[in-house]
Amino acid sequence: MKLNPSSRAEKSLDVFRPSEYTCLVLQYLQDHPEVARERRTCEIGTGNGVIAAQAAMQGASAVVVSDIEDQALAAAKDCLASLDAPSCSFEFHLGPMWSPFANRRFDLILANLPQFPCEASVLSDRLHSWSVGGSDGRALLDRFVAGLDEHLAVGGRAVFAHNSFVGLDKTRAVVEAAGLEMTVERAVTVLLAPTKVAALPLGLAAYAPHIYPVGNYVFGHVSLAVVCKNH
């Protein structure tokens, strides 16, 4: 793998650096190497591009990524250009949610979307679009989940990070109403930045047990949701 220290990706590393949420998706792909192999793969909100890169490294036949930020697509291009994946084709699309993918289906859909319950940017070292999920955190998740049936091929699956405190049951209800199946594969605990905690629209108790204080710090649970289209 070549590393280019003067690349645009390096210049934007502080803004687009991967997080524990990213790692959750990466870990799943590493633990299930068959999931990406020879699959037409889409990642919405690719940011730094590493989730898409992991799929390409594990043998995806095509990797199609999107973001609403020009800068993110530039970082993703740098990331994916560094790979040695000659049998994988790449596409980069600028645009929100499903709009770049009209009439297209994929075997594997990956995402780590903005989903923190807040209305305005809460992290001074990220772009506004990084984590703002609206008052209930679901503004993007709802649009994402609503499009899964239309954009998953039969036999396909979607794998996405999902804050446990923004309603896994709501997501499951929408998924199952569409005839899809959802499992929650794993959950991790992450430290929440004080600015995030301060921006929560409701008091901490409203998010218990998935957001909770320990001493002077506040932690949150993040799950990994897997949705399968079996027929």
Torsion, Cα of 183, 188, 189, 192 (10° steps): -80
By CB under 6 A, which span of 2-10, 80-88, 110-118, 196-204 interacts with ligand SAM? 110-118
Candidate list 35, 36, 51, 227; residue touching ligand SAM; CB under 6 A: 51
Which candidate, 39, 126, 45, 57, places its Cα nearest to that of 93?
Answer: 45
58, 33 Cβ separation under 8 angstroms: yes
By CB under 6 A, residue 27 contacts ligand SAM: no
By CB under 6 A, which span of 13-21, 28-36, 80-88, 223-231 interacts with ligand SAM? 13-21
Angle at 133 between CA 127 and CA 136, to 5 degrees: 155
By CB under 6 A, residue 139 contacts ligand SAM: no
Helices (H), ranges, the chain: 8-11, 13-16, 20-31, 50-57, 70-81, 139-146, 148-151, 168-177, 194-199
Burial (CB < 10 A; 0-12, 13-18, 19+), residue 49, is buried
Nearer to ligand SAM, 23 or 85 (CB): 23
Cα(45)–Cα(16) distance, rounded to whole angstroms?
Answer: 11
Nearer to ligand SAM, 16 or 207 (CB): 16
Nearer to ligand SAM, 99 or 230 (CB): 99
Least spacing, CB of residue 34 vs ligand SAM, in Å = 22
By CB under 6 A, residue 46 contacts ligand SAM: yes
By CB under 6 A, residue 137 contacts ligand SAM: no
Angle at 74 between CA 73 and CA 80, to 5 degrees: 85
Contact letters for ligand SAM, residues 60-99 (x by CB under 6 A): ------xxxx--x-----------------------xx--
Torsion, Cα of 128, 116, 96, 225 (10° steps): 150
By CB under 6 A, residue 112 contacts ligand SAM: yes
Least spacing, CB of residue 202 vs ligand SAM, in Å = 21
By CB under 6 A, residue 117 contacts ligand SAM: no
Residues that bind ligand SAM (CB under 6 A): 18-19, 21-22, 44-48, 51, 66-69, 72, 96-97, 112-114, 129-131, 140
